[in-house]
């Protein structure tokens, strides 16, 4: 059997769950090992079976509560434990959030994602965030928030406010997690994702590549995401932005083709999910981004800022989309 046919016959490896293929780490490692051209071909096949391959979804991010976070995530500019350039700010007032959401809509974003540097929201914080969600939704934008770990009942409150998506990344493989974060566990992340699903919200969950993890760790992260039942509707794949002052400041950047392979693995294992080419685009050439789209990425963060770091200007994305014949949705 040729290598592409072999890849096409990967899972289901667990026939007990026919409704959703169960991927194994070995399955995904086998994808990573394909010759790049075969992997890209397979990813394009899957992509075209499920999406218009020339359409890209655009979400704009806003940090509504920046810095001073109690957690020790080794990549993060917002942890209070590290001496970074990011200061501590209070929760933004509603009018500032609305002005940013309107500007994002005017620029063409379809979703507005609000992030907070919290371990998890206190109930009084959540009340203010639900006001923001209602107001942003009234502008006609899809809404997403990322607020950390949720307590019982909080996901339901977000749902009642009209929230569409909750972002909560698994970030890295369970077996590597403790080397990057010690103040909460990988299992806690899964617990919040369960609560989000139970409340009827759509799930946005992905991870960070290039933190010094092994290929096996990367494959395991993809498997953990793909085997969520159902898989996340939205899967952000972040390339580490190395932040001075954090423990990961000096990690060697990941090989570009390894990153592209990760996008392709996400596309193949999560055929109907939007795979978002997320943090790290600022440092990528146009050609590298085009390869990521070819590998099946069909969503981006759009606008010149992520949470605390820079993202390509909207004009740069528009110029690249025009060159590639990509249409924003
Ligand atoms: N505090 C909440 C949490 O941890 O879920 C929400 C905000 S947190 C900044 C959201 C996500 O941003 C993280 O899970 C991580 O995937 C991503 N992120 C943070 N810093 C990053 C960096 N330097 N490079 C790439 N991704 C990063
Ligand atoms: C996600 O996966 N990436 C976004 C969003 N979800 C919240 C955040 C990226 C942050 C990059 C570093 C920063 O700007 O602070
Ligand atoms: Fe806090 Fe989230 Fe940053 Fe971790 S990733 S330090 S929880 S803001």
**Could you identify the atom of ligand 2 that is nearest to the CA of residue 76?**
15
Six token digits for residue 179: 């080397």
**Residues 264 and 41 sit within 8 Å (Cβ to Cβ):** no
Report the pLDDT value the prediction gives residue 18, as an integer from 0 to 100: 56
Which position among 42, 111, 113, 189 bears the catalytic label?
113
The predicted-structure confidence for 55-91, as pLDDT tens digits, reads as follows 999 999 999 999 999 999 999 999 999 999 999 999 9
Classify residue 203: in a domain, yes or no.
yes
Walk along the chain (329 residues) and give the pLDDT tens digit of each residue. 344 444 444 554 555 545 677 999 999 999 999 999 999 999 999 999 999 999 999 999 999 999 999 999 999 999 999 999 999 999 999 999 999 999 999 999 999 999 999 999 999 999 999 999 999 999 999 999 999 999 999 999 999 999 999 999 999 999 999 999 999 999 999 999 999 999 999 999 999 999 999 999 999 999 999 999 999 999 999 999 999 999 999 999 999 999 999 999 999 999 999 999 999 999 999 999 999 999 999 999 999 999 999 999 999 999 999 999 999 99
In a domain, 53, yes or no: yes
> Which residue's CA is the nearest one to ligand 3's atom 8?
117
Residue 73 annotated in active site:
yes
Distance between CA atoms of residues 232 and 225, nearest Å = 7
Choosing from 58, 218, 276, 281, the catalytic residue is: 276
Q: Whose CA is nearest to atom 2 of ligand 3?
A: 117
Residue 232 is predicted with a pLDDT of 98
For residue 239, the ligand 1 atom closest to its alpha carbon is 25
204 a catalytic residue: yes
* Residue 12 located in a structural domain: no
309 lines ligand 2 (CB under 6 A): yes
Residue 17 lies in a domain: no
Residue 208 · residue 248 · CB < 8 Å: no
Using a 6 Å cutoff on CB, does residue 147 contact ligand 2? no
- Decide if 292 is catalytic: no
Question: CA nearest 65: which of 123, 125, 15?
Answer: 125
Residue 84, phi then psi, degrees to nearest 5: -115, 175
Cβ(262)–Cβ(289) under 8 Å?
A: no
**Residue 14, domain member (yes or no):** no
Ligand in nearest proximity to the CA of 249: 1
Q: What is the pLDDT of residue 20?
A: 76
Domain count, the chain: 1
Is residue 71 within 6 Å of ligand 3 at its C-beta? Answer: yes
Q: Is residue 311 within 6 Å of ligand 1 at its C-beta?
A: no
Distance, CA 71 to ligand 3 centroid (Å)? 6
55 beta partners: 327
Please, which residues bridge with residue 62 across strands? 114
Give the list of residues 6+ apart from residue 109 with CB closer than 8 angstroms, or none.
58, 59, 60, 141, 302, 303
Atom 4 (ligand 3) nearest CA: 73
Residue (of 12, 44, 10) closest to 260 by Cα position: 44
Instruction: Check residue 21 and give its pLDDT.
Output: 75
Contacts (Cβ under 8 Å, ≥6 apart) of 89? 65, 66, 67, 68
Ligand 2 near 279 CB (within 6 A): yes
What is the residue range of 239's domain? 23-324
Residue 10: inside a domain:
no
Does 191 fall in a domain? Answer: yes
Q: Is the CB of 84 under 6 A from ligand 1?
A: no
Q: Which of 193, 307, 308 to mutate to test the pocket of ligand 1 (most atoms within 8 A of CB)?
A: 307
Ligand nearest to the CA of 254: 1
Q: Is 11 contained in some domain? A: no
Could you say which ligand is closest to the alpha carbon of residue 147? 1
pLDDT reported for residue 11: 54
* Ligand index nearest the alpha carbon of residue 80: 3
CATH code of the domain in which 268 resides: 3.20.20.70
What pLDDT sits at residue 6? 45
CA 301 to mean position of chain CA atoms = 9
Q: Which tokens belong to 326? A: 């990509």
Q: What is the b/e burial string over 37-55, where b = at least 16 CB atoms within 10 angstroms of the residue's CB? A: ebbbbbbbbbbeeebeeee
Q: Which residue has the tokens 């014949």?
A: 325
Is residue 300 within 8 Å of residue 261, measured between CB atoms?
no
Ligand 3 atom with minimal separation from the 71 CA: 6
């Amino acid at each position: 059997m040729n290598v592409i046919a072999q890849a096409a016959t990967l899972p289901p490896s667990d026939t007990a769950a026919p409704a959703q293929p169960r991927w194994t780490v070995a399955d995904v490692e086998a994808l990573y090992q394909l010759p790049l051209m075969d992997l890209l071909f397979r990813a394009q096949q899957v992509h075209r079976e499920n999406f218009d391959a020339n359409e890209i979804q655009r979400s704009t991010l806003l940090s509504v509560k920046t810095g001073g976070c109690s957690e020790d995530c080794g990549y993060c500019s917002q942890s209070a434990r590290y001496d970074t350039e990011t200061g501590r700010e209070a929760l933004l007032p509603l009018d500032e959030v609305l002005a940013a959401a309107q500007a994002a809509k005017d620029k063409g974003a379809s979703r507005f994602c609000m992030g907070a540097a919290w371990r998890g929201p206190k109930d009084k914080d959540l009340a203010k965030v639900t006001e923001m969600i209602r107001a942003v939704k009234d502008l006609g934008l899809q809404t997403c928030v990322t607020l950390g770990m949720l307590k019982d009942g909080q996901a339901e409150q977000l749902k009642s406010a009209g929230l569409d998506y909750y972002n909560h990344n698994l970030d890295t493989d369970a077996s590597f997690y403790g080397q990057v974060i010690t103040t909460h566990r990988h299992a806690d992340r899964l617990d919040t994702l369960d609560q989000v699903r139970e409340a009827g919200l759509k799930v946005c969950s992905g991870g960070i590549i290039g933190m010094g993890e092994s290929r096996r760790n990367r494959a395991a992260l993809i498997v953990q995401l793909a085997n969520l039942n159902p898989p996340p509707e939205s899967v952000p794949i972040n390339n580490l932005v190395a932040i001075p002052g954090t423990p990961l400041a000096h990690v060697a950047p990941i090989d570009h083709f390894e990153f592209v392979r990760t996008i392709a693995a996400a596309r193949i294992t999560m055929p109907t999910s939007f795979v978002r080419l997320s943090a790290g685009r600022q440092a990528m050439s146009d050609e590298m981004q085009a390869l990521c789209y070819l590998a099946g990425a069909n969503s981006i963060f759009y606008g010149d800022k992520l949470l605390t770091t820079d993202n390509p200007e909207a004009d740069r994305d528009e110029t690249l989309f025009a060159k590639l014949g990509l249409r924003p949705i």
